[in-house]
Amino acid sequence: MKFGFFDDNEKEYVITTPKTPLPWINYLGSNDFFSLYSNTSGGYSFYKDAKLLRLTRYRYNNIPTDNGGKYFYINENGTIWNPGWQPVKAELDSYECRHGLGYSKITSSKNQLEASVTAFVPLNDNCEINQLILTNHSNEKKTFSLFSYIEFCLWNAVDDMTNFQRNLSIGEVEVEDSVIYHKTEYRERRNHYAYFSANEKPDGFDTSRDAFLGSYRGIDHPQVVEQNTSSNSIASGWSPIASHYFNLTLEPGESKGIVFVLGYIENKEEEKWESPGIINKAPAKTVIERYFTDEKVTTALHELKEYWKHLLSNYSVESKEPKLNRMVNIWNQYQCMVTFNMSRSASYFESGTGRGMGFRDSCQDLLGFVHLIPDRARERILDIASTQFEDGSAYHQYQPLTKKGNLDIGSGFNDDPLWLIACVSAYIKETGDFSILAELVPFDNDKTNSATLFEHLKRSLNYTITHLGPHKLPLIGRADWNDCLNLNCFSKEPGESFQTTGPSEGPIAESVFIAGMFVKYGKEYASICHELGDYDEEKRALLAVDEMYDAVLQSGWDGDWFLRAYDAASEKVGSKECSEGQIFIEPQGFCVLAGIGVKEGLAQKALDSVKERLDTKYGIMLLQPAYTKYYLNLGEISSYPPGYKENAGIFCHNNPWVSIAETVIGRGDRAFEIYKKTCPAYLEDISEIHRTEPYVYSQMIAGADAAFHGEAKNSWLTGTAAWTFVNVSQFILGIKPDYKGLIVDPCVPSNFGNYTVKRVFRDAEYFITVKNLDSVQKGVKKIIVDGVEIEGNLIPFEEGKTTYQVTVFMG
């Protein structure tokens, strides 16, 4: 069953009912100001950091979960409704929500009055615009009232939820003309405030939540709206809100637009303390002025759409698979931008108050983002590397506002360091910018203790080399990519959380997955050294890679697949010998994509075992058989009920690893089959089972052991976005950036037909036509560039050349 449809021309997903199985959301914002925006106009806003600078309130564990929005109430002769259906939930005569790239538009109507709200964050200002257009489609004059409504958060979202004894006395607002200023904290800080404005003088306002709602009422039937007039309340303490009230009349056929702006202002350092007790409203007024008319708003929205059109033109495909085209050309890249911006911080499943930016997460997100805005990728790499310690280990997470490592979580995830090599090499291949390696980057954010980024990479590599276990495989530490594989015997006391009370480093437990990573990214590191002409270092790295390769074959192969790990007692994990958890997905995907076992014929065996033991119609499960009880030697993984999350859920993130691995051994049919199984556009028709948004990936789909096999959770913020984009763009469609140019090496289903890719690479445009006349799955027999056949399959990048016409003949 579908709850909407794709409008590919407009690059929008159109939701046709507010009653989607779960809130289907969008993200507004490109740089610093962000909002979550659901199909019922729910969701909150923040500046830079969802925990520390939260602008509007969201109620956790609320029912319904979809809350905290920017709501508009319409009262026409006692009939009260919202354009986004919530919170009043009055039946609407029509409803449509269009989620586009960085904007959403909800249009609905009741009794021939149409309301359309377009919400977006403009490119260059720290604000969210809500443009409301009301149209009278009846033959009679309509008189009705309109109330806007947002509830302010007192900045730090955790404090806001907990420190009531203080918070209930600190709220302060100010109203001037049609602008409501939220000033809480200005006394001690004087450096920031929020505002909510309208471009027309209202007939009244409210700023006290209690006055607006009335006693014992919720936002589904506010007293002020019911009484059809505002109370002009000025909040003092308690809960500040911003509501404008308009009494409106529309002639038949008449339309009226009102522009609302929710903005954030941070006064410049030198402006602080200049005039105690008075906020400097000038910067807010300047922003409000920039969006003061419908025309100005239309122009700003147009700029946003053009921005996205430009970004997406960096990679686009035309094939005979429309669903693939729409995912590659629009939604997958869009999700890559959102995960780059958010890491795992703020979604309808990630609270925005817990994990900030993840070290491994952000490094991986970058793989799918770097071709969009390489400069931002560069900046991010330097931020991430600054949270690394001198020994090469790293803070697992850091706070986006302060960019400081998170002490509560600390370090000890032994895969983290190697992801830095992954993202740096992807950045250099994309841009050719080797200068990044010479940047001085602090350790642990201490500017007095810095080294070049290249030195950071070396320490990443050395961290693994110096942390090997009894089988010469990498020590796992607290966990590797699989956060829940806690092999260093961890017993959780009642009330403790797995998140913050991790097990410490152990001298024995080893990870075959990190070994696969080391082979892959050790080789990447060596190739960087090669490009730099540091052949000794290249040799040292390749030697270590060879030793790791051998260690995997020696001690990491279980007969039909790769082992997962050795636990703290050196017992096998992910082996035939185990009673549960005999085979895991991660080492099969990563070892093969790193090239391990290919020439020995083991790779194919491992991938066949994946198909035989882990595959389902909804994707490949993380492990089988699922753990049915808690194992102290395994940790959190066995704390989940079978079929969920890391305990045999279909973790979408590592499905593309297996798909890439299939391309490494040339099985394009299987690689694409795996691609399609978890790809949201291919799941649109079963939205009642899948339940999350059909335009973005979710972290997990419940596995075969779960009660609701096929049901997805944790949509949006997942490394799946980046890895599927890497898979489809570089391995299936086969256009891969490299140091000296673009490599073309497709691996497609035999019946895939011809296709074209447009790729912008280092400012040059490549128009690539792939002809598969022999219906093969892999293999390039000839490449013609601008009429001339080249040797091999690397199209060399030539400085100054702006277009490349390329024809590739598979065979």
Of 599, 518, 581, give the one whose Cα is nearest residue 552: 518
Binding to ligand IFM (CB under 6 A) within 752-811 occurs at none
Nearer to ligand BGC, 174 or 646 (CB): 646
Q: Please state the three-class secondary structure of 584-602 as a single string.
A: EHHHHHHHHHCCCCCCCCH
Report how far apart the first and last C-alpha atoms of the chain are (Å, whole number). 40
Residue 798, burial from CB neighbour count under 10 angstroms (0-12, 13-18, 19+): exposed
Cα dihedral 309, 312, 313, 318 sign: negative
Judged by CB under 6 A, does residue 358 bind ligand IFM? Answer: yes
Cα 683 from Cα 710, distance rounded (Å): 10
Smallest gap from residue 724 Cβ to ligand IFM (A): 15
Q: Which residue is nearest to ligand BGC (CB)?
A: 483
Of ligand BGC, ligand IFM, none, which one does residue 498 interact with (CB within 5 to 8 Å by kind)? ligand BGC
Going by the DSSP 8-state scheme, the letter that residue 502 receives in this structure is -
Of 231, 263, 27, 290, give the one whose Cα is nearest residue 150: 263
Of ligand IFM, ligand BGC, none, which one does residue 499 interact with (CB within 5 to 8 Å by kind)? ligand BGC
Binding to ligand BGC (CB under 6 A) within 597-636 occurs at 636
Going by the DSSP 8-state scheme, the letter that residue 626 receives in this structure is P
Cα 638 from Cα 646, distance rounded (Å): 8
> E strands of 77-221, at which residues?
79-81, 94-99, 103-110, 113-120, 127-136, 142-155, 173-176, 179-182, 192-198, 204-208
Cα dihedral 490, 493, 496, 501 sign: negative
Cα 590 from Cα 513, distance rounded (Å): 7
Q: Which of 109, 482, 692, 730 binds ligand IFM (CB under 6 A)?
A: 482
Smallest gap from residue 635 Cβ to ligand BGC (A): 9
State the binding string over 160-199 for ligand BGC (x if CB under 6 A, else -). ----------------------------------------
Of 374, 375, 376, 373, give the one whose Cα is nearest residue 311: 373
> E strands of 653-789, at which residues?
698-701, 712-715, 735-738, 741-744, 755-761, 764-771, 780-785, 788-789
Secondary structure class of 285 (helix, strand, coil): helix
Of ligand BGC, ligand IFM, none, which one does residue 358 interact with (CB within 5 to 8 Å by kind)? ligand IFM
Nearer to ligand BGC, 45 or 393 (CB): 393
* Bridge partner residues of 559 (DSSP): none
Going by the DSSP 8-state scheme, the letter that residue 485 receives in this structure is -
CA distances, 324 to each of 14, 60, 620 (Å): 18, 36, 19
Of ligand BGC, ligand IFM, none, which one does residue 481 interact with (CB within 5 to 8 Å by kind)? ligand IFM
Cα 125 from Cα 30, distance rounded (Å): 10
State the binding string over 427-466 for ligand IFM (x if CB under 6 A, else -). ----------------------------------------
On whether the CB atoms of residues 384 and 359 are closer than 8 A, the answer is yes
Smallest gap from residue 582 Cβ to ligand BGC (A): 21
Judged by CB under 6 A, does residue 564 bind ligand IFM? Answer: no
Nearer to ligand IFM, 537 or 636 (CB): 636
Smallest gap from residue 646 Cβ to ligand IFM (A): 5
Of 236, 228, 124, give the one whose Cα is nearest residue 184: 236
State the binding string over 427-466 for ligand BGC (x if CB under 6 A, else -). ----------------------------------------
Of 376, 335, 320, 269, give the one whose Cα is nearest residue 32: 376
Judged by CB under 6 A, does residue 635 bind ligand IFM? Answer: no
Smallest gap from residue 645 Cβ to ligand BGC (A): 5
Cα 673 from Cα 617, distance rounded (Å): 10
On whether the CB atoms of residues 542 and 595 are closer than 8 A, the answer is no
Of ligand BGC, ligand IFM, none, which one does residue 397 interact with (CB within 5 to 8 Å by kind)? none
**What residues contact residue 215 under an 8 Å CB cut-off, 6+ apart?**
none
Q: Which of 11, 57, 70, 360 binds ligand IFM (CB under 6 A)?
A: 360
Cα 645 from Cα 651, distance rounded (Å): 7
Smallest gap from residue 717 Cβ to ligand BGC (A): 11
Nearer to ligand BGC, 238 or 498 (CB): 498
Q: Which of 483, 510, 684, 745 binds ligand IFM (CB under 6 A)?
A: 483
Judged by CB under 6 A, does residue 410 bind ligand BGC? Answer: no
Nearer to ligand IFM, 258 or 706 (CB): 706
Smallest gap from residue 38 Cβ to ligand BGC (A): 23
Q: Which of 415, 480, 537, 646 binds ligand BGC (CB under 6 A)?
A: 646
Judged by CB under 6 A, does residue 361 bind ligand IFM? Answer: yes
Judged by CB under 6 A, does residue 415 bind ligand BGC? Answer: no
Judged by CB under 6 A, does residue 416 bind ligand IFM? Answer: no
Q: Which of 451, 484, 784, 794 binds ligand BGC (CB under 6 A)?
A: 484
Stretch that binds ligand IFM, among 97-105, 319-327, 479-487, 605-613 (CB under 6 A): 479-487
Smallest gap from residue 301 Cβ to ligand IFM (A): 34
Nearer to ligand IFM, 42 or 354 (CB): 354
**Is 483 designated active site?**
yes
Smallest gap from residue 700 Cβ to ligand IFM (A): 9
Total of chain residues touching ligand BGC, rule CB under 6 A: 7
Smallest gap from residue 497 Cβ to ligand BGC (A): 8
Nearer to ligand BGC, 613 or 645 (CB): 645
CA 283 from chain center: how many Å? 31
At 408, which helix (H) or strand (E)?
none
Nearer to ligand IFM, 350 or 537 (CB): 350
Smallest gap from residue 483 Cβ to ligand IFM (A): 4
Stretch that binds ligand IFM, among 430-438, 475-483, 611-619, 745-753 (CB under 6 A): 475-483
> E strands of 723-796, at which residues?
735-738, 741-744, 755-761, 764-771, 780-785, 788-789, 794-796
Of ligand IFM, ligand BGC, none, which one does residue 572 interact with (CB within 5 to 8 Å by kind)? none
Q: Which of 481, 525, 618, 761 binds ligand IFM (CB under 6 A)?
A: 481
Smallest gap from residue 499 Cβ to ligand BGC (A): 5
Total of chain residues touching ligand IFM, rule CB under 6 A: 9
> E strands of 267-403, at which residues?
315-318, 357-358, 397-398
Stretch that binds ligand IFM, among 196-204, 429-437, 478-486, 553-561 (CB under 6 A): 478-486
Binding to ligand BGC (CB under 6 A) within 496-515 occurs at 498-499
Judged by CB under 6 A, does residue 478 bind ligand BGC? Answer: no
Angle (deg, nearest 10), helices 602-613 and 655-664: 140
Smallest gap from residue 413 Cβ to ligand BGC (A): 9
Residue 173 — left, alpha, or beta (φ > 0 → left; ψ -120 to 50 → alpha)? beta
Q: Please state the three-class secondary structure of 71-115 as a single string.
A: EEEEEECCEEECCCCCCCCCCCCEEEEEECCCEEEEEEEECCEEE
Annotated catalytic residue, options 125, 361, 365, 483: 483
> E strands of 653-763, at which residues?
698-701, 712-715, 735-738, 741-744, 755-761
Q: Which of 429, 456, 572, 645 binds ligand BGC (CB under 6 A)?
A: 645
Which stretches of the chain bind ligand IFM, using CB under 6 A? Answer: 344, 358, 360-361, 481-484, 646
Name the residues annotated as catalytic: 483
Which stretches of the chain bind ligand BGC, using CB under 6 A? Answer: 483-484, 498-499, 636, 645-646
